[in-house]
Structure 1
Amino acid sequence: MNLIATRSSIFQNRIIQLTTLAGVLLAYRIYISGTTDFLFMFWNLFLAAIPLFVSRQLMANVRLGQSKILRYSLFFLWVLFLPNSPYIITDLIHLDNSAATIWLDMLMLFIFALSGLLLGVLSMIDVFSYLRKHNHPFLANMMLLGVSLLSGFGIFLGRFLRFNSWDIIARPQLLMQCIFKSLLLWNAWLWIIGFGAFIWISFWVLKPYLRGSR
């Protein structure tokens, strides 16, 4: 158990180091290019960290035996914001092959994307632990798979239709219309299944290294 906890601590420290390195590379890129083209990556990384913050609040709620209504609300909020973590991977489309800083941009975006994915997986580990304690393991696995597919759909809505997590409150009617229309598109389903499977597989591949005491 101590070995697992130590390994988890090491990998979580690596995530902090990765995010710091990403920030340093972005600052250097701004300095040498004189442009702020990728400044939005700081915002995207902030959004990617929200699911982990929410999942930690959820686990604290469980430990303290607080309100179930609050617990379910936190779970819903987690599902809503989880797509923001792996979403950063899609920011690789901003790479410009003709840019003089192409190799720096590639390294910087890769580190941002990896950081976002790891933050998301850490939050999934928290929630999976909660689901397994309250459900049959198979059901917990299926629920996590369902959430992964929903995240794939969320990434589709964000990347191609430019919706945000908070649009469920800001633009609910338009969001629902676009959701129903998107579900009739075969390429949307390819994205949902493809990215959803990627998120789910990433969870199982990275979980042994990040699980710690969960």
Structure 2
Amino acid sequence: MKNKFYDQFKFMSSLLLFFSIVSSVIIASRYMFFDDRSLMFLIWNIFLSWVPYIISLIIYRRKMIIKRGRSWVNHLLTLMWLFFYPNTLYIITDALHIKSRVDYYFNNDIVVMDNGGWLKFWLLIFVILLGFIMGIISLYAMQNILDSNYGPLFSWGFVAIVMVLSSYAIYIGRYLRLNSWDILNPIKLFNNVIQTLHMDMLSFVGLFTMMLLCVYVLFYNLISLRKGA
């Protein structure tokens, strides 16, 4: 059944798709005409951000979430969403590439870049925000369904668990260079996960979970204010 949020969901999807295509075309054009492949990895990251977003859109449209008495498709779609979801938040760590992939220099402690450098800077920032926003909206849609089915306590518990798991996935992705596909090699994955059981990992996951939850709570309340307007 359609509702106001679903209509907004579709509208935002159109905007996100438009901006994703424009960003990808600009990045690809720089590679084709200027042999600049420094930002080509962002196209793949945009694609990875779309995967859980589309899954959540399908789930929201059909009201398919884990429910008693429903088919196994509910479980499969939710697990697929959870499997790919950390990619939408991992993209925020791509900000680390500003130093190595954007050309700049210092002149009397002032950062100086030409127009090409500023373009790459804004492309990088814009794609990071694009993927991150897709992640936040996707999680909001999932929580919205859970809240209507099981209540706010369950839905917020789900959000907290997703943020913890995503923060850990960001850690092993950034420091161990593992990705979603490594789950197909469980022995390698298990051996690498064992190596992360130390205080540095716990502090990283704790920090990222806290910051991601803060951003999400702000987003959630902005939506609530808009509803009440």
Report TM bin, short chain: 0.7 to 0.9
Give the corresponding residue for 1:89.
92
Q: Secondary structure at the match of 2:83?
A: helix
TM-score calculated relative to the size of structure 2 = 0.77
The match for 2:146 among 125, 128, 131 is: 131
Structure of larger gyration radius? 2
Give the corresponding residue for 1:172.
186
Residue identity opposite 2:53 in structure 1 = L
Tell me the distance in 1 between the aligned counterparts of 2:151 and 2:7.
Answer: 29
Residue identity opposite 1:74 in structure 2 = L
State the Cα distance separating 1:83 from its structure 2 match. 0.8
1:28-39 alignment, distance < 5 Å = 28-30=29-31, 33-39=34-40
TM-score calculated relative to the size of structure 1 = 0.82
> 1:59 and 1:3, CA in 2 relative to 1: closer, same or farther beyond 3 A?
closer
What RMSD, in angstroms, separates the aligned Cα atoms of the two structures? 3.1
The match for 1:74 among 66, 74, 77 is: 77
> 1:109 and 1:210, CA in 2 relative to 1: closer, same or farther beyond 3 A?
farther
Give the corresponding residue for 1:201.
214
1:102-141 alignment, distance < 5 Å = 102-141=117-156
Structure number with the bigger relative contact order (C-alpha 8 A, sep ≥ 6) is 1
State the Cα distance separating 1:9 from its structure 2 match. 6.0
Unaligned runs of 5+ in 2: 105-113
State the Cα distance separating 1:34 from its structure 2 match. 2.0
State the Cα distance separating 1:180 from its structure 2 match. 2.7
> 1:86 and 1:167, CA in 2 relative to 1: closer, same or farther beyond 3 A?
same
Give the corresponding residue for 1:189.
202
Unaligned runs of 5+ in 1: none
State the Cα distance separating 1:148 from its structure 2 match. 0.8
Tell me the distance in 1 between the aligned counterparts of 2:221 and 2:19.
Answer: 19
1:80–1:165 CA contact under 8 A, matched in 2: yes
